[in-house]
Amino acid sequence: MRISEEHFLTEALHMQSPNADARPVSGDISLLVIHCISLPSGNFGGDLVSQLFTNQLPKNLPPEVSDLEGLRVAPHIFIDRSGNVTQFVPFHMRAWHAGKSSWKRRPNCNDYSIGIEVEGSLDQDYETQQYQALQKVITALFEKYPTLSWETIVGHCEIAPNRKVDPGPKFNWLDLIYRLSRDRDIGKLDR
């Protein structure tokens, strides 16, 4: 997997989201934010997630997700339970995924981050295919954007601790870091 000049993953499904705009500082990509989502919560495989990210939710929403109406959100990347990767926003653009947030006292993480949504819920283990997909995507990101490293990967819960808990306690950070450390960018671990 690699990233094109146009800042798209070459091996991903592409769906365009309007929920993005230009980064205030062009080329500033210095943080990677992991989220989880499932709609309705705990249900996997439906269309609601991609409909949410493209502002195409159906008119008659099930009551348990009716609060999504009017939301304008999108990550750069979504990884479903089978490890399929969909890109909604090219990486040089600012995707609207983090909301009010700060990292190392720097506010507005959307300005300088890449957002990855993993299909999941707070109380269920993630699938091996999802870690494999994350490994491929993040390794490609490391290669394209050298300001990123394993030290700049955070959960949404870390940059918005009073509002957010995702990707939750079931997300296996050690598994992810171990997978990344086996890749050729292991050198970055020595800093």
Q: In the complex, what is the shortest distance from the CB of residue 24 to Zn ion, in angstroms, rounded to a whole number? A: 21
Cβ contacts of 101-109, under 8 Å, gap ≥ 24:
101/156, 101/159, 101/160, 102/159, 103/31, 103/154, 103/158, 103/159, 109/31, 109/33, 109/159
How is residue 127 annotated by DSSP?
P
Asked if residue 35 binds Zn ion (CB under 5 A), the reply is yes
* Residue type at position 86: T
- Which of 97, 124, 189, 121 shows the shortest CA–CA distance to 152? 189
Q: In the complex, what is the shortest distance from the CB of residue 166 to Zn ion, in angstroms, rounded to a whole number? A: 4
Which of 75, 139, 156, 180 touches Zn ion by CB under 5 A?
156
Q: Which is nearer to Zn ion, 81 or 188 (CB)?
A: 81
Which region, judged by CB under 5 A, interacts with Zn ion, from 43-51, 64-72, 162-170, 174-182? 162-170
Q: Decide: helix, strand or coil at residue 128.
A: helix
Q: How many CA atoms lie within 13 A of 108 on its CB side?
A: 8
Asked if residue 166 binds Zn ion (CB under 5 A), the reply is yes
Task: For residue 144, give both structure tokens.
Answer: 């394209």
Residues 112-141 that bind Zn ion (CB under 5 A): none
Which region, judged by CB under 5 A, interacts with Zn ion, from 18-26, 72-80, 124-132, 151-159? 151-159
Q: Which is nearer to Zn ion, 29 or 159 (CB)?
A: 159
Q: In the complex, what is the shortest distance from the CB of residue 170 to Zn ion, in angstroms, rounded to a whole number? A: 14
- Which of 168, 31, 24, 26 shows the shortest CA–CA distance to 104? 31
Q: Which is nearer to Zn ion, 1 or 68 (CB)?
A: 68
Catalytic-labelled residue, pool 11, 69, 117, 151: 117
Q: Which is nearer to Zn ion, 136 or 156 (CB)?
A: 156
Active site residue 143: no
Residue 127 and residue 83 in contact, taking contact as beta carbons nearer than 8 Å: yes
Interface residues with Zn ion (CB under 5 A) are 35, 156, 166
Catalytic residue annotation: 117
